[in-house]
Amino acid sequence: MSSGTYRPEPLLPLTYCQSEPHPPAPPPLVDRGCFNWLRRNLFPNWRQSLLSILIFSLLAGTAWHLARFLLVDAVWWGDTGEACRPSDGRPVGACWAFIADRYKYFIYGSYPLDQRWRVNTFFIAGGLGLAYLLWPRAPFRRLGLTLVIVALPLTGFIFLSGWDAVGLPDVPTNLWGGLMVTIVVAAVGIATALPVGILLALGRRSHLVIVRWLSIGLIELPRGVPLVTVLFMANTMLPLFLPTGLNPDKLVRALVGITFFAAAYLAEIIRGGLQAIPRGQYEAASALGLGYWKTMVLIILPQALKVAVPNIVSINIGLFKDTSLLLIVGIFDFLSTIETARIDPRWAAPTISTTGYAFAAVVYFSFCFGMSRYGALIERRLSRDHGR
């Protein structure tokens, strides 16, 4: 409640005409030193400083415990569980000897020894494919993208399961296991779920009633039930719908289930992206004389998918982790091989289970984090390419 109103002093002249423009000035200096950053962000006052110290000590304590278990007290060498038993009273941490002994089982499962070169070839092809995807100015990018994302997983699946005509002996999928199953299922799942999801999303927005209803059904049904149910359905009911004699492989059945489950979620995410595209884009395409599919493929989907990239990556990460549910239909994925190995009496020791799960966590995290980073890279690349 001040008595006088604010008046700038001295008063500006009522009329003014600039005789000379102001020269451009450099931006004000901001102290970017490390010490200043710490003081501004972590220790601005005593309460914040106390909180910072508390949180840091908690983090440091956790980190120390982890490091002691995983590194300091860890057992690196040994042929049996004997090495990892605390015989002389010293603390025993993670039993990496166990992982080193069984890592082949974790990767290949029970895939025949003399055929494992096929798995290795598939991994190498996959690695090369990924490197190609990360190469922004690669030649034939569009063709390469299709090859890596769609063709590689599908041919990989045939390559691994065998084809007598080209001299590759059949390897029944009940011998498959470990990381290889997880990767194949996730890769094939992503490769098939994305196109199916796009079609379902377009179908749900279609003016054709039958197409729309069918799409709504195929989206809402898998979304309305847990993945476990979908897998059971695919495992036991899919053969009932198919003509007699056509009895698809167990892994294929599971793949169909996983694909439809992921596709249902992807469809809704892509539909969200489609709704973000203004009507003017459709009108401009129509005014140029583009038909429905050309409009969708050339104009609408590139923009809609760009909006949806973060969520698409999330769904794909989820799909990768969901492969661990394949155990319940009798398929030995990566996590199940660890489950099996950790109760092996030859490796009976107190920290075996924890070691196995820690290893699983590290492997899952590196794959999922890699996918997340790749998604971020795509986002950056798209926004740069679109000049924003």
Partner 1 sequence: MAVTKTPIPANSFAVQVRELSKWFGNFQVLNRIDLDISVGEKVVICGPSGSGKSTLIRCINQLEPFESGRLHVHGVEMSGARKDVQMVKQQIGMVFQHFNLFPHLSVMENCVLGPMTVRGLSRRQAEDVADHYLARVRISEQASKFPGQLSGGQQQRVAIARALCMEPKILLFDEPTSALDPEMVKEILDTMTDLARDGITMICVTHEMGFARQVADRVIFMDKGQIVEVNRPDVFFKIQSNERTRQFLANLVR
- 93 Rama sector, left if φ>0, alpha if ψ -120 to 50, beta otherwise: beta
226 vs 302, which CB is nearer to partner 1? Answer: 302
Pick between residue 121 and residue 286 the one whose CB is nearest to partner 1. 286
57 contributes a contact to partner 1 by CB under 8 A: no
State the minimum distance, in angstroms, from the CB of residue 297 to partner 1: 10
Residue 323: burial class (beta carbons within 10 Å; 0-12, 13-18, 19+) = buried
Interface residue with partner 1, options 65, 141, 205, 294 (CB under 8 A): 294
At its nearest, how many Å lie between partner 1 and the CB of residue 386? 5
Minimal distance in Å, beta carbon 45 to partner 1?
A: 43
Cα maximum dimension of the chain:
98
Mention every residue, 6+ apart, whose C-beta is less than 8 A from residue 347: 80, 81, 84, 95, 98, 101, 102, 341
- Subset of residues 202 to 221 that bind partner 1, contact rule: CB under 8 A: none
Using alpha carbons, select from 346, 377, 341 the residue that is nearest to residue 359. Answer: 341
Give the CA distances from residue 58 to residues 51, 92, 159, in Å, rounded to whole numbers and listed in that order: 11, 23, 50
Determine the size of the site formed for partner 1 (CB under 8 A): 21
In the chain, which ranges are continuous DSSP H helix?
34-41, 46-67, 96-108, 116-134, 141-146, 152-161, 179-204, 209-224, 227-236, 238-241, 250-275, 279-287, 292-294, 301-322, 334-342, 352-385
Nearer to partner 1 by Cβ, of 221 and 277: the residue is 277
* 90 vs 279, beta carbon nearer partner 1: 279
DSSP state of 178: B
Q: Which CB atom, from 140 or from 213, has the smaller least distance to partner 1?
A: 140
* Binding residue for partner 1, selected from 172, 302, 310, 350, defined by CB under 8 A: 302
Q: Could you say which of 299, 312, 313, 371 contacts partner 1 (CB under 8 A)?
A: 299
Site residues for partner 1, 255-284, by CB under 8 A, read 278, 280-281, 283-284
Name, in order, each residue with C-beta under 8 angstroms of 299's C-beta and a sequence gap of 6 or more. Answer: 281, 282, 284, 285, 290
Candidates 49, 62, 286, 366; binder of partner 1 (CB under 8 A) is 286
Given candidates 68, 85, 116, 306, which one binds partner 1 under the rule CB under 8 A? 306
Nearer to partner 1 among residue 278 and residue 310 (C-beta): 278
Instruction: Write down the least CB distance from residue 220 to partner 1, Å.
Output: 30
Q: Which spans of this chain sit near partner 1 (rule: CB under 8 A)?
A: 278, 280-281, 283-290, 294, 298-299, 302-303, 306, 385-388
